Structure formats: C-alpha cells, structure tokens
A and B are shown apart, each in its own frame.
Chain A
Amino acid sequence: MGSRRWPPPPKNMVDNYPALAGFSSPPTREEDADRFLHSLVRFVHSLRRLGIRVSVAETRDALDALSRVNLLDRGQVKVALSATLVKNYHNRKIFDQAFDSFFAPSETLPQKQPELMNEQPVCGGGRDENVGDRLVKAVKEDERDWGKEFLNLLYLTVEENEKMSIKPGWTKQFKKQFIETIGKMQGGGDEGPSAPVAGKTESSLKRWRRQMMKQAIKAGWVSPAKNLIAGSERLDGVPETVIPDVETRQDGESVLYEDMKKIAEEDLARAGILIKKLSRRLATRISRRYFKGRRRGRLDIRRTIRRNVSYGGTLMDLKFQSRKEQKPRLVLICDVSGSMARYTVFVIQFIYGLSNVVRGIETFIFSEELERVTPYMKKGDGFARTMSSLVEKSSQWGMGTNLHASLAAFLKDYLRLLSPSTYVIIVSDGQTIQADQAARNLEEIRSRVRDIIWLNTMPREGWKRSPAINEFQKHCQMFECSTLDQLNRVLGSQMLNV
C-alpha cells in the first residue's frame, strides 16, 4: 500500500510523530506515513469545514514544513501548520481552536490514550468516531452555546428594534403611501394631474407619522430624545416646522439647501430632477475610468522609441501614455429603516439614477437585515415600477436599524464583491444597535476595499455626541449629507478621484 503513496513521508517521521494526537506505537513506517498524511488531510478538511480556505499546494507545504520541525515539540508543529495553512489574520483564532481540539496537548495524552487507541485511521476502514469527528463534535458543542447566545441577542434586537421603529406593524400602510409618493417623484419636471393627489398623500403621510411618533412617546416605546430622527434637536424640530416656508424662497435652487426630510411636497419633483443630475454626475465620474482617456497625456518614451526605431531614431510618431484602465466597482448599501424614512425617497432616487448609468453596481438595502436589490434594478422597468416592486416585495422599509447584522450578512454572503478596486458607499444616519460590532464589521470591509464612503444624513454637529459615529469614522470617509447641496458637494469633491 505504502509504495503507491505520494508525496513521500516526512524524513523525520519514524521516531517522533506520536506528538500528534491519535497516534501511538506505530507498527511500520509505511503505515505511520499513511496515518500521518491522513491526519494532516483530515485536519485540513476540518479547517475547510470551519470556513478556512486551504489549497492542495498549501497542504503540501504544510507536510513539507512538518518534515523540517521537531514533531515532538507541539509548539513547533502548531507554528509549522499555521504558517503554511492559515494566511489570514482573521482566521487565526479559528485555527488555534481547531488545532487545540484536533491535536491533544501532550500533557493530556495519557487521559485520552484509551479513547485514541480505539480509533482507527480512515484508510483502515475503521470506526466513525475519529479525530476529525471529535473536532466537529467539539465545534458543534461550541456552536450550541454560540447559538444560545445568538438567540438571546436576537431577542434583544427584536425588542430594541420595536422600540426604535415608530410602531410595530406600520410598514404596510407606510409602504402604500410610499409608493404613491414615488409615483409623484418619477414625473420629473412635469407635475401632471397626479401631483395634487400625491401632494396630499405626502402631507397625510407626514401627519400620520407625527401621530405615530406622539403615540410612541406616549406609550413609552421611545423616549423623546430617542425619537429624534436625525439625532438632533435642531434638525428634527417640532413637527410643525417640517412644512417649510415656501414663500421665503427666492429661486429654484433653495431646495438644494433644504434638509431633505423637510423638502415640501411641491418641491419633490424638482428635487427628483436634481438628484437625477447628481447621480449622473457621480456616475460619469466613475464610468470615466472605464475608458481610456482620449486626451494626450504624458509622453510614453518607451513606446515612442520602439515605434521610431524604424525611422532611424528620428521621433516621427509620438506615443502618449493614457490613463491606466481601472474599473472601480461600486457597492451601495442604503439604510431604509424608520429613522431614515424621510430621506429614503431621495436615497432610492439616487440608487436608481446610479444603477441606470453605471453598469455592474451592486445595491443593497438594510434595516434589520440586509437585502440585495440589484436584480430589481436590472429589469429595465421605469423608475416608478422598479421602485414600487422593490418597496412592495422587500420587508426592510421602515423597520429598526441593525447595521451589525446587515454588514455581517454582507461579509458572509457577498465577500466576493469586495476587492481593492471596490468602493463601498453607505447611506445611513448611523443610528443602530450593536454599534461596536458594526464598527468591527466596517473595519473588516475597509481592509478589503479601496475605500468606504459614508453619506450621513445626520448633521455634523450631532456626530460628536454619538459614540457610534465616532467609531464608524475611523474606518471610512464620512460626509454630512442631509441637504441636496451637501450631496452635490460630496460628489463634486475629490473623493472618487483615483
């Protein structure tokens, strides 16, 4: 059996391999080698099951490395395996746990010996209970505890979310009115006959929201302080001030400086056009890099000389360096929770505008959970239809906020979208539960992408009072973005200049 085996067993195998758990008194060298190899392979399988990517080449490296260290020294074995199998800092802890479960420390070997003696290597066609299974069992046991903890957390989350959203179960009604509002926005400059109806809807929506807030405060679901949508007394103001003073406006641009959640219904259409323009501007700023610049840039001396060698070195045909082709990928993550409700109409307009112009943009919305909405954007329907179906089918609109859960889900399921050429744009007011964990998720995402740009609808003066925002700021570029003018300036800034 042994002579067929490849790769060859480590040279330092014979004397010292009992340091690895599960092996004792080896009968022959060949069988030793088989067990040794199988043990390593099983360990690699276990690592893979725990989510660590280990290639065949790395397994070979590990075998090679083991042949170079003292196998009696558990520490050396561990370093050899970790240096060759685990190439990411994030996976270190998982590896440590796996190693400790898989390879029993030498001091505990005597107690484990009888159990281990009964075990047969897989190749021996033996029992089910082997070392690898023990690891899985250990992991499973661990998971039970984690699961319980997680459930508790989840329970807390639901409770808190209920407090944070204005009223549980309000989304259905909200959705309906929301769709009507969207219908109004998509009309663009032409207000049409539906405008008054939509306007009425919008103001009734506001009234209804105010009512709900009052109820929520009365019922003690939320404290008045928590009830602040943008986290600031100044911005939220008393409900009456939500309707802006239309008469004071001198020109059409004033809508630019209005807090987005206070823009009057009659200005929604105008704001809509403006957002379209803005999203187009951002889109061209990004998509410009999809093409090689036609303008002449720096002289490319290398190519010029090569080209002109045939002219005897006289420079007849100049070659220019064009901008390096780079394709930044965009991932948009938008908060559509209760606290962002009034901004959401602009956010979705923004998403739609962007998705229309930039190909390959990935779009997610979140409140309590993350939802990928890219497929909705690809159908080629009009704005109203796209958004209506989006609002209709998604359960995220107007719920509480859990950025941590959303980002964790993002990291788990959409890791492939993150690369050094990716920009992640987050639109949120940063008011979330489990902010510490969310900050850690953000840090991990940051380490994988080119940059994170956070458009925060909370005014800047409110940021200092929010520890969560302070944490988030460490891992992203945060811009205040509560008015259209700010959105315009953010997009006009150098933030996306690569």
Chain B
Amino acid sequence: MKLNELTVNGLYRSFEEQGYICEKNLVITVFLALKLGKPLLVEGAPGVGKTEIGKVLSRIFNAELIRLQCYEGLDENKALYEWNYQKQLLRIQLQKESIGTEMAERDLFSYEYLLERPLLKAIRSRKPVVLLIDEVDKVEEEFEAFLFELLSDFQVSIPELGTIAAEQIPVVVLTSNREREISDGLRRRCVYLYIDYPTVEKEVRILQVKAPEAGEKLSREVANAVSLIRANQGISKKPAISESIDWARALVALGAGSLDQEVVKQTLNIVLKNKEDIETVQREVGVKALAASAQKHG
C-alpha cells in the first residue's frame, strides 16, 4: 500500500489482512499519525499488541522495520551512531607504513567509518522504513529529550559531519508500558493511542485468527476465562493476548475439547506466569468457578 493512497477503510482492511484484529478507532488514530507525518505513541498494558502495530505497518507498506529496543542506560552511541574506531585505528596504522599518501582527519571521519545505529539508519534510509522505538518509558529523561528533538525535525547533528536530514520521513511508532510517565515534550510531538485489553468478542476473533485450530467453542471459553482472570484485581501480571493464544494452542495440543475443571487446573500455568498469581486465582476465583464461567458463556 502507498501512503498517499491511504484511506481509513483501506487501512482497516489491511490490518485485518495482516491478522491484527482491532477496533476501528485504533485504525483511525494510526491513519491520522500516518497522514500528519507524526510519530505514533502507543500506550497500554503489556501484551495488548503495541509492538505489533509497528510490525504490521512495516508489512502493510512493505517497508523495512528498524527497531530500537529501549532500556535504562541507552545512550546516543547505541541509538544513533558510533565511529568504527577499530577501522579508524587500522587505517592510521596502515597510513604509517605507506609513505607518500596523505591522510586528512576528515578522511577518518567520513561515512566509511560511521557505524549506523537504528535512529541514524532510519533517517538515512532512502527506502520507506518503519522505526519502532519500543518501551520508550525505560530510557532516562536526557535521552527522551534528545529523542523528541530528533522526532520533531527528523534530523541529527554529528559534529564531524554536520547535520544530516532525513531522506524521507519514516513512519515512527513509540511504545510505552506506562511504567513511568514520559515527558510532555515527547507526548506533544506524537499522536496518542491507548490500547486496552480486548473485549471477549474481540479476543475470540483474535484467537480464531491466531489459533484457528482451537475452533470457536474453545476460543470463546478461553476468552471468557481470560477475561475473568483479568478482572481480578489481585493479579500482579494480567494475561496478555499472546498468553490467551498459547493457552488455546496448549489446549488443542492436549486434545482438550473444552475448558473443564481438570483442564483448567493442569494448564493454568500457561496463562499465569507466577506462583502467587496462580494461587490468587485458585483462591479468589476458584478453578471450578473459572471452568463453569468459561463454559457457561461458551
């Protein structure tokens, strides 16, 4: 798909074709970010499909996905560029032995010796790219400040080379788990999207796409059970969509046709990944009630 031919309905269809089942509102927001040429800031609980948006967009536009995984301590050297100092050193050593060839400092600081990190790579790319800046809430304030300057002007300055402007404006998707609030400056420069956990109906549709072997009945039972588990406030890590999919696949692998009490007991660890949460669900919801609720609605 081409960016200038983009329509809301077309984008919605493309998302579905790529197996990304979502509300139309989500697609409208993505559409606006693309049309306005602004970065898309996606927030939401872990496992609701934030990162997937970047991946889906790269497939839709047939663009390269450049991913910058953020973490505490990430700095410009790892995100933007670094000089290839080994190569520079070799060049200097070679220079010593070959008499007569002059070497200027600018030769040493040319593109030949530049190691592109994700941000610079996205800016210098001549082909369309999708830049996915994942878990931006993990970086320090200073890096965030650097980032929003880059994202508003789409250009960077490298002291030895000067300012490099983007060949074309990349599609930028930033994700955040809201572990920490990100700065207002960065927010202002983005189009904002919040993704919540899916409704039962939506999750059934997702399961039918991602784990079609489970069939509608089992998918619905899994979606009901997961929805009930997520509603429990005592759980420290609520099941992500990927865990629902894993659960449905696990049930198929076990040959279970339905989520009965025994099956729930055996497989609860697929959907809940720590002991305390499993105990909380067993204590507060109860395996029996969970199975009954899943099947009742199913």
Q: Is the CB of A58 within 8 A of B28?
A: no
Q: A103 to chain B: closest CB distance in Å?
A: 16
Q: Is the CB of B192 within 8 A of A68?
A: no
The segment from B173-181, B199-207, B240-248, B260-268 found at the interface with A is B173-181
The segment from B35-43, B121-129, B220-228 found at the interface with A is B35-43
A89 contacts across to B, CB distance below 8 A: 43, 178, 194
The segment from B47-55, B58-66, B182-190 found at the interface with A is B182-190
Which of the four size classes fits the interface of chain A? 35 or more
Say whether A313 faces chain B, with CB atoms less than 8 Å apart: yes
Q: Which residues of chain A in 86-101 are interfacial with respect to chain B, using CB atoms and an 8 Å cutoff? A: 86-89, 92
Q: Is the CB of A79 within 8 A of B192?
A: no
The segment from A151-159, A381-389, A446-454 found at the interface with B is A446-454
A421 contacts across to B, CB distance below 8 A: 140-141
Q: Is the CB of B85 within 8 A of A420?
A: no
Chain B contact surface mostly: helix
| Distance A447 CA – B181 CA, assembled complex (angstroms) | 6
Q: Within the complex, which residue of A64, A68, A83, A420 is in contact with B193, where a contact is CB–CB below 8 Å?
A: A83
Say whether A197 faces chain B, with CB atoms less than 8 Å apart: no
Q: Within the complex, which residue of A53, A83, A86, A302 is in contact with B33, where a contact is CB–CB below 8 Å?
A: A83
Q: Is the CB of A87 within 8 A of B32?
A: no
Q: Is the CB of A420 within 8 A of B180?
A: yes
If the complex has contacts A76-B8, A313-B92, A448-B180, are A68 and B77 also in contact, measured as CB distance less than 8 A? no
| Distance A324 CA – B43 CA, assembled complex (angstroms) | 29
Q: Within the complex, which residue of B28, B73, B85, B180 is in contact with A449, where a contact is CB–CB below 8 Å?
A: B180
If the complex has contacts A87-B188, A305-B89, are A79 and B43 also in contact, measured as CB distance less than 8 A? no
Q: Is the CB of A302 within 8 A of B187?
A: no
Q: Is the CB of A80 within 8 A of B89?
A: no
| Distance A326 CA – B83 CA, assembled complex (angstroms) | 25
| Distance A84 CA – B187 CA, assembled complex (angstroms) | 10
Q: A471 to chain B: closest CB distance in Å?
A: 9
Say whether B4 faces chain A, with CB atoms less than 8 Å apart: no
B190 contacts across to A, CB distance below 8 A: 87
Q: Is the CB of A305 within 8 A of B192?
A: no
Encode A207-241 as 1/0 by CB contact (under 8 A) with B. 00000000000000000000000000000000000
If the complex has contacts A87-B187, A312-B92, A313-B92, are A305 and B178 also in contact, measured as CB distance less than 8 A? no
Q: A478 to chain B: closest CB distance in Å?
A: 14
Q: Is the CB of B180 within 8 A of A68?
A: no
Say whether B154 faces chain A, with CB atoms less than 8 Å apart: no
B8 contacts across to A, CB distance below 8 A: 69-70, 76
A88 contacts across to B, CB distance below 8 A: 181, 187, 192
| Distance A305 CA – B31 CA, assembled complex (angstroms) | 46
Say whether A65 faces chain B, with CB atoms less than 8 Å apart: yes
| Distance A238 CA – B29 CA, assembled complex (angstroms) | 64
B105 contacts across to A, CB distance below 8 A: 309
Smallest Cβ-Cβ distance to B94: which chain A residue: A313
B89 contacts across to A, CB distance below 8 A: 305, 313
If the complex has contacts A83-B193, A92-B194, A305-B83, are A447 and B179 also in contact, measured as CB distance less than 8 A? yes
| Distance A302 CA – B158 CA, assembled complex (angstroms) | 14
Q: B180 to chain A: closest CB distance in Å?
A: 5
Say whether B108 faces chain A, with CB atoms less than 8 Å apart: yes
Q: Is the CB of A84 within 8 A of B28?
A: no
Q: Within the complex, which residue of A53, A65, A70, A313 is in contact with B96, where a contact is CB–CB below 8 Å?
A: A313
Q: A399 to chain B: closest CB distance in Å?
A: 30
Say whether A474 faces chain B, with CB atoms less than 8 Å apart: yes
| Distance A168 CA – B31 CA, assembled complex (angstroms) | 61
Say whether B16 faces chain A, with CB atoms less than 8 Å apart: no
Q: Is the CB of B108 within 8 A of A65?
A: no
Say whether A301 faces chain B, with CB atoms less than 8 Å apart: yes
Say whether B79 faces chain A, with CB atoms less than 8 Å apart: no
Say whether A61 faces chain B, with CB atoms less than 8 Å apart: yes
Q: Within the complex, which residue of A61, A69, A302 is in contact with B82, where a contact is CB–CB below 8 Å?
A: A302
| Distance A418 CA – B17 CA, assembled complex (angstroms) | 43
Smallest Cβ-Cβ distance to B138: which chain A residue: A420
If the complex has contacts A75-B25, A313-B89, are A302 and B192 also in contact, measured as CB distance less than 8 A? no
Say whether B110 faces chain A, with CB atoms less than 8 Å apart: no
Q: Is the CB of B141 within 8 A of A55?
A: no
| Distance A420 CA – B178 CA, assembled complex (angstroms) | 12
Q: Which residue among A76, A79, A301, A418 has the maximum number of chain B CB atoms within 10 Å of its CB?
A: A79
Q: Is the CB of A419 within 8 A of B141?
A: yes
Q: Which residue among B29, B73, B180, B181 has the maximum number of chain A CB atoms within 10 Å of its CB?
A: B181
Q: Is the CB of B184 within 8 A of A53?
A: yes
Say whether B157 faces chain A, with CB atoms less than 8 Å apart: no
A-B contact pairs, 21 of them (CB 8 A): A57-B188, A61-B191, A68-B35, A69-B32, A75-B24, A76-B8, A79-B25, A79-B28, A79-B29, A79-B32, A82-B192, A83-B191, A84-B192, A92-B194, A302-B82, A309-B108, A324-B73, A419-B141, A449-B180, A450-B180, A474-B236
